Structure 1
Amino acid sequence: MDAFVRERSVVIRSLMRRMRHGGLGLVLGLVACGGAASDAGGGNTVPTTPGPGAAAKGGEEVGGDKVPGDAIPKAPESQKPNRCAKGGPFPPLSATPKPATEPKPLACRPKDTAAERSITADMRAQYKPTRPGSTVEVSFGCDGLDQPITKLVYEHGAGHGNQLEIVQISRSDPADASYDVIGIRESSPFVSNPKMPPFQVLRAKISTDAVAAKMPSVRAALHTTIREILPKSGLTGLAAFGSSSSMHVLVRLEDAAGRAVEKKYSDSIGSDGQGRYLPLQRAGAEIGQLVDKLSWQEGPASGDVLKLFEERFLAAMVESAEPGAWWVRAAHLQLASLAGARALVPSILEWLGAPRPEGRIDAWQRQQEAATATLADLTGWDPRKDEKGAARPIEAAARDFVAECGKVSPPAR
């Protein structure tokens, strides 16, 4: 009996601390009734409701005894915030999907004699034969595009510093008096100007007449073939040359029906590649006369400029059947980081999972480093270092990016 009285006193003191004075008499009455029943051998239970903090604490001390409480359950793994999506879900791609089939080329257009004559003289003057007594032959292939060109894409850059500039000249209506010019580029790392922004965008217009004046030479250059005809007397020495410098040039033309011709060169400057890069350099020189004097501005990359970059990124990194040089890919990744192109994260993840190749891995290592650096910038999460700030193996960081960022629903394309 004494034990029951002590227990009842503990409960009463606890309830008195929790209840307002208005409900105190009712509580005491219930306890008193319960006591009478207990004396008769009944033993009724007194209902108690813990305060709002009791569940969070897992119980409350009452007179030295702990009253059980329900702990708040942890959020399931699927409901935890994703470290790759701190800025919200990845936005959908604005790039236009590539058509499943391409239209057939038209019959060969009549040749532009003046343009071909000029290019022939230029190529023969610049080409350096690798054998004494060799002759240089320049020929031109079939141009199967329609007369009005609706879009021209020009990319150029260099391996040193991973420079990259992308320009598009286009118009949707053949009757327009001007072409729209948009572009995006990374500022040159060799220009020591602290006020220069990390990347710049271009928005301008060029008259239709100015573009039309350059098209014959650009079109002819994209269909130029250079062959070195060796002397019949056989080997008479070697005059090859090479360089540590590398270059990236891409020129693409499209007509209103979507027919396209595209040529590119991404390699070192030397005798082996001059037959491919010299015509592209000539095309680039013609395009440069249209765009080199236009004014570039500090970002942001948005709207049509961001759409252009996404299209060129996917073309170079995902859709291309011919893998580009590692430094061209690194330049695209760096530009994606600077432009804040978060919609490209799922595409980068697909490319990041490439296994380590056998043998020389320098290019693979640099590509993985560029990809993980870009993902860290675009997501705000960086698993390349451990909790103490020490660098982790690149494969470990790549696996973490793929596992965590892969949980985010991919944007529709």
Structure 2
Amino acid sequence: MRPSAWMTEERRSLHALAARFAAREGAPAVDRWREQQHLDRSFWTAAAEHGLLCCGVPEEDGGGGGSVLDDFVVLDAFVRSGLSPAPMQVHNVVVPHYIVRYGSVEQRRRWLPEMAAGRMIGALAMTEPDSGSDVQALRTRAVRDGDDYLLTGTKTFITNGATADLVLLAATTDPTARGRGISLFVVETADCPGFRVGRVLHKMGQHESDTAELFLDSVRVPARHRLGEEGAGFAMLMGQLPQERLLVAVTATAAIERAVELTTRYVNERCAFGKPLIAQQHVRFEIADCTTHARVARAFLDDCVGRLDAGELDDVTVSMAKMWFSDLEGMVVDRCLQLFGGYGYMDEYPISRMYTSARAQRIYGGTNEIMKEIVGRSLVDPPAATAEAR
């Protein structure tokens, strides 16, 4: 792997620490986690003890005092160790950075130290049975009742949903206003009347990541647990999307590089017709193609991370990245799996699990079709479009 400009010496040390931790505490437990469909609570607290949770949260809020790039480093190491990134993506990057950016001092002090210590696991609840990419169409209601809100609705496909202690939830406080009527609330799930976890959904891949349905029946949430102003939720969601969508690029690049590494090793060791697979020209060409794709992906990722760090990552660029990286991950892993032959189809082989895990990347974080629409709209010439409309 070519060194990235943003991978400082300190981050290389963090990466090495995360890799050792994942190999020791995570990899041996993956099969059991896949059976129970969630990570052990002890894994979260152990990760916290090693300084691997909420690295990008300020020290005064109980975090590591770094930036979101440090959280990216941890995710990269975990993916390379064969762990599903989804639980950590949500807990380490998505939820805490909403609270850092939009929370009051009281809110930050209440929740962030608990998340950084692994005592409260975070989840983000936006998706509903009838609204996925169309966030403005959500139906979960939040009705003001004195100093509280009463939340009623259903959420689905919620990562960490069954194990979360803290759910950052989007609800409409004004159904007539669509986007301008959405607000964000933090729901503490312990001893919470009306809050219920439904099914833990059985997915194609990423089985160690719990993905659940959530039901809310007049759940009483204090108004002080609303994040930001009433009606500002949609703007907050849009403001965080570039960072969240770049997560897909980070984990996809790590998966692509891991797939190429595993496959290169395999075709050098596996023999067919009396010689290693790598001796066959077709195999060499396939590996050459995939290695080239990995190199290009790393360069594109480094550019995007640099833009994010400088506060210059725009919606169009990150939409290109989310779409392209997730498509590329699926393609490269598929071609690598083919070189494993029948073994590649066996669930016990990492490449098989990588194949099924990769498929979700094109769906969550905004489907790739939505990403193409964002990019496509940016290419329409306004005067020409107006003329055509006439």
User: TM-score normalized by structure 1?
Assistant: 0.26
Q: Which has the higher helix share?
A: 2
- Max radius of gyration: which structure? 1
More RCO (CA 8 Å, sep 6+): 1
